[in-house]
Amino acid sequence: MRMHSHALFVLLLCSLLVGAATAEPSRELTYKDCHPDDKAVLLAFPDSWSSSWAPDTLCCDWFAVACDRSTGRVVGFSVFQDPSFTGTIPSTIAGLTHLEDLFLHHLPGLSGPIPPAIGKLANLSRLEISWTGVSGPVPSSLGKLKKLTQLDLSFNSLSGAIPVSLRTIPGITLSRNRLSGAIPQMFLSESAGQDVYLDVSHNNLTGAIPAAFAAVNFTHLDLSRNGLTGDASGLFGRGKELQYIDLSRNAFDFDLSGVVVLPEKLFHLDLSHNAIHGSIPAQVVDVANLLAFNVSYNRLCGPVPTGRNMARITRWWYSYVDQFDCIDVSGSRIVLK
DSSP 240-294: ----EEE--SSEE--BSSSS----TT--EEE--SS--EE---GGGGG-TT--EEE
* 218 closest CA partner among 179, 245, 251: 245
Residue 114 gets which letter from DSSP?
Answer: P
User: What pLDDT does 103 receive?
Assistant: 98
Burial of 183 (0-12, 13-18, 19+ CB in 10 A): buried
Mean pLDDT for the stretch of residues 53-74: 94
Q: Tell me if 60 sits within 8 A of 72, measured CB to CB.
A: yes
Listed in sequence order, the residues at least 6 apart from 264 whose beta carbon sits closer than 8 Å to its beta carbon are 238, 239, 287, 288
SS3 assignment, position 156: coil
Share of the chain above pLDDT 70, in %: 82
- pLDDT score recorded for residue 317: 54
pLDDT confidence bin for 314, thresholds 50/70/90: low
pLDDT tier at 313, thresholds 50, 70, 90: low
- For the chain, what is the mean pLDDT? 85
pLDDT at 85 over 60: yes
Count of Cβ atoms closer than 10 Å to residue 325 Cβ: 14
Strand, helix or coil at 314?
helix
At a CB cut-off of 8 Å and minimum separation 6, what does 116 contact?
A: 91, 139, 140, 141
Of the pLDDT bands very low, low, confident and very high (cuts 50, 70, 90), residue 64 is very high
* Per-residue pLDDT reduced to its tens digit, 19-47: 434 433 444 444 468 999 999 999 999 98
Give pLDDT, residue 142.
Answer: 97
Q: What is the mean pLDDT of residues 284-310?
A: 86
In this structure, which long-range contacts are made by residues 276-280, counting pairs with CB atoms below 8 Å and at least 24 apart in sequence?
276/252, 276/300, 277/253, 277/301, 278/302, 279/303, 280/256, 280/304, 280/305, 280/317
Quick one: pLDDT at residue 193? 76
Q: What is the pLDDT of residue 67?
A: 96
CA–CA gap between residue 117 and residue 53 (Å, rounded)? 24
Mean pLDDT of 58-87: 94
18-22, 259-263, 286-290: least confident range: 18-22
Quick one: pLDDT at residue 323? 43
pLDDT at 17 over 60: no
First-to-last CA distance in the chain?
115
> For 178-204, what is each residue's pLDDT tens digit?
999 999 988 887 776 789 999 999 999
How far, in Å, CA of 57 to CA of 101, rounded?
23
Distance CA 116, CA 138 (A): 9
Instruction: Using the Cα atoms of residue 242, residue 246, residue 250 and residue 253 in order, give the sign of their dihedral.
Output: positive
**How far apart are alpha carbons 128 and 143 in whole angstroms?**
15
Residue 334 has pLDDT above 70, yes or no: no
Q: What DSSP character marks residue 301?
A: -
9 has a pLDDT exceeding 80 = no
Flag whether pLDDT at 4 surpasses 50.
Answer: no
Listed range (18-32, 228-242, 303-317) with the worst mean pLDDT: 18-32
What pairs with residue 148 in β-bridges? Answer: none
Of residues 249, 323, 320, 233, the one with CA closest to residue 281: 233
Q: Which of 65, 64, 16 is nearest to 38 (CA)?
A: 65
Q: 3-class DSSP state for residue 98? A: coil
**What digits encode the pLDDT tens for the residues 123-140?**
999 999 999 999 999 999
Look at residue 62 and tell me whether its pLDDT is greater than 50. yes
